[in-house]
């Protein structure tokens, strides 16, 4: 009898726990799992997105199923190479600038001084600003004729570039706006890491006669590597998915396709050219690229990340 009673109590607890998890699981299933499965299925079709998505209909598959043709076209097209180059160019410029800026902000905020609270509010304002407003501001700032940057350069006798109107400078302009928008968020993460470092390490280094610069490179950076690693993972994923700044700051991802990136192409093929099958296939190619880069980062993690403090 005791065993039966115990089993009934366990069953009741399981049902009770499941009832609490059901709303979250339902939302995850409807908003995440089902759309992921549907996009994978659609990637093997020529579905335009304008007709009904009748996956269970034989007529739908007879008219739209094309197998791996979307993937073949993507992998053999010159557009994929151009998009990869543009994305890689963005990542190479963005990651070092973002990481340096975030680390600088975190270091400044970690020190007690007058006006620290005001500065902490100011540096986080871009994070709270919508990309639409931020991109429009930077589109004006980077204007070759009326922009603030070129006007400042003119004061010291330097002729500023065309920025968003120049194929060589369009992507650096996008990078500047992206760094401005993101350093506050990542700086806050690194600041949390700095707050968690035991001050005894710095006291011991000071007794040994180590300078502040040496203490920074020998103590701060090694102990901050878990947070830096997290920032690199998140920022890399976000870098591959840049979209609003490109769409707002440039015209048709120009000039001459200089700012064509993955999500911009996915949007154009899906909602402007009405090639939803091709767009979903391109999104899965992007997923695989992000997955590969993330896996590589995790494999080399043990070589430079120190978790013990």
* Residue-wise pLDDT tens digits, 278-303: 999 999 999 999 999 999 998 998 88
Closest to 178 measured CA to CA, from 294, 84, 92: 92
Vertex 21, ends 19 and 26: CA angle to 5°? 100
- pLDDT for 41 equals 94
- pLDDT for 5 equals 52
- pLDDT for 4 equals 57
Q: Is the pTM of this model over 0.85?
A: yes
State whether 100 and 210 are in the same domain: yes
Question: Tokens 């340096």 — which residue?
Answer: 100
Whether residue 168 is contained in a domain is answered as yes
Helices (H), the chain: 2-28, 34-42, 58-64, 69-76, 78-109, 116-128, 131-141, 148-155, 170-195, 200-207, 212-215, 221-239, 244-249, 262-267, 276-299, 301-304
Q: Which residues pair with 65 in a beta bridge?
A: 45
Vertex 87, ends 82 and 92: CA angle to 5°? 125
State whether 150 and 294 are in the same domain: yes
Q: Which long-range contacts (CB under 8 A, 24 or more apart) does 50-57 make?
A: 50/274
State whether 45 and 169 are in the same domain: no
Output the domain CATH number for residue 215: 1.10.3720.10
Whether residue 148 is contained in a domain is answered as yes
State whether 44 and 147 are in the same domain: no
Residues in the chain, overall count: 309
State whether 8 and 87 are in the same domain: no
pLDDT beneath 50, residues of the chain: none
Q: What is the domain range of residue 200?
A: 71-304
Q: How far apart are CA 197 and CA 81, in angstroms?
A: 43
Domain count, the chain: 2
State whether 152 and 231 are in the same domain: yes
Whether residue 24 is contained in a domain is answered as yes
- pLDDT for 2 equals 53
Q: Is 48 helix (H, G, I), strand (E, B) or coil?
A: coil
- pLDDT for 10 equals 64
Whether residue 309 is contained in a domain is answered as no
Vertex 95, ends 215 and 229: CA angle to 5°? 55
Phi–psi pair at 231, nearest 5 degrees: -60, -40
State whether 295 and 238 are in the same domain: yes
């Amino acid at each position: 009898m005791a065993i039966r009673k115990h089993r009934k109590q366990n069953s009741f607890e399981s049902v009770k726990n499941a009832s609490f998890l059901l709303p979250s699981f339902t939302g995850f299933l409807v908003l995440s799992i089902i759309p992921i499965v549907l996009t994978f299925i659609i990637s093997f079709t020529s579905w335009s997105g304008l007709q009904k998505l009748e996956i269970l209909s034989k007529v739908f598959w007879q008219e739209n199923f094309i197998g791996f043709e979307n993937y073949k076209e993507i992998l053999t097209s010159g557009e994929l190479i151009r998009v990869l180059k543009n994305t890689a160019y963005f990542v190479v410029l963005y990651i070092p600038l973002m990481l340096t800026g975030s680390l600088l902000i975190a270091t400044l905020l970690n020190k007690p001084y007058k006006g620290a609270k005001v500065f902490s509010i100011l540096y986080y304002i871009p994070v709270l600003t919508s990309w639409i407003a931020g991109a429009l501001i930077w589109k004006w700032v980077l204007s070759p004729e009326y922009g603030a940057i070129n006007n400042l350069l003119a004061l010291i006798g330097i002729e500023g570039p065309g920025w968003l109107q120049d194929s060589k400078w369009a992507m650096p302009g996008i990078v500047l706006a992206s760094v401005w928008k993101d350093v506050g968020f990542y700086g806050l993460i690194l600041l949390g890491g700095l707050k968690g470092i035991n001050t005894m390490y710095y006291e011991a280094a000071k007794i040994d006669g180590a300078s502040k610069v040496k203490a920074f490179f020998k103590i701060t950076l090694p102990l901050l590597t878990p947070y830096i690693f997290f920032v690199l993972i998140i920022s890399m994923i976000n870098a591959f998915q840049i979209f609003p700044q490109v769409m707002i700051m440039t015209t048709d991802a120009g000039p001459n396709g200089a700012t064509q990136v993955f999500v911009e192409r996915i949007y154009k093929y899906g909602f402007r050219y009405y090639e939803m099958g091709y767009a979903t296939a391109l999104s899965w190619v992007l997923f695989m690229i992000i997955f590969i880069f993330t896996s590589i980062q995790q494999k080399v993690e043990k070589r430079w990340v120190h978790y013990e403090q």
